Amino acid sequence: MTAEPPVPATSSTAGEPAQRRRRDAAETRQLLLDAARQRFARDGYAATTVRDIADDAGVNVALISRYFTSKEGLFEACLRAAGDELRRTTGQTPADRVPEAIARHIADLGAAGLSSQLSLLLRSSGDARADEIRRGVLVRSSEQLAAARGWRPGEPGSEQLLLRAQMALAAGIGVAVLRSSIRLEPLSSATEEDLVGPLRDLVDALLPPH
């Protein structure tokens, strides 16, 4: 929508080309993925145009169709990456360190954009297939989180635990969005240290260590 100057991916001063190989399909693919993740997380799926993404990545629009079939395919690739990242966090983290892990994700506002990846999971898509993938990512993540606190599939009375895990996940994502996409102050300027305390309170309240 807004027309920013494209990010050239290399320094635009004519001096040093910063070793970006000029023809490298893998790197170009990754540039597109990174640009897309940021745009989708910030503006949502429908509001992001493929030309925006291509300009950010500094490559030609047609390459999106070539490497990802379509805009929808690119979005799916972004969702998968975010899902892997999120599951890595809620998975191989000791149960009592989960709040810190979540806090770290939310606090990271850098271009790397772990927070962006979280936002990606809440922003609207208006696309049925993308919604399905997103739901799958969230289900698996919440089950992993619940399992860390003693949930076992089908076990009677532990449905409560899964519900609470999903609420904790929702809370974390909600904070991430208000912080990184909507930029609500003072939440947006809070440091990781500012966040980790309240987040610990929040997670512990929903999922008491068993």
Residues near DNA, by CB under 7 A: 1, 22-25, 28, 48-51, 59-66, 69-72
Q: Which does 125 bind (CB under 5 to 8 A by kind): its own copies, DNA, none?
A: its own copies
How crowded is the C-beta side of 19, counted as CA atoms within 13 Å? 0
Q: How far is the CB of 25 from its own copies (least distance, A)?
A: 30
How many angstroms separate the CA atoms of 118 and 158, rounded?
A: 26
Binding segment toward its own copies, per CB under 8 A, in 11-19, 78-86, 88-96, 138-146: 138-146
**How is residue 197 written in tokens?**
């305390």
Q: Which does 71 bind (CB under 5 to 8 A by kind): DNA, its own copies, none?
A: DNA
How many angstroms separate the CA atoms of 84 and 121, rounded?
A: 12
For the chain, the C-alpha Rg in angstroms (whole number) is 19
Q: CB-wise, 22 or 210, nearer to its own copies?
A: 210
Q: CB-wise, 64 or 114, nearer to DNA?
A: 64
Per-residue burial over 133-151, b if 16 or more Cβ lie within 10 Å, else e, is: bbeebbeebbbbbbbbbeb
Q: Which does 28 bind (CB under 5 to 8 A by kind): its own copies, DNA, none?
A: DNA
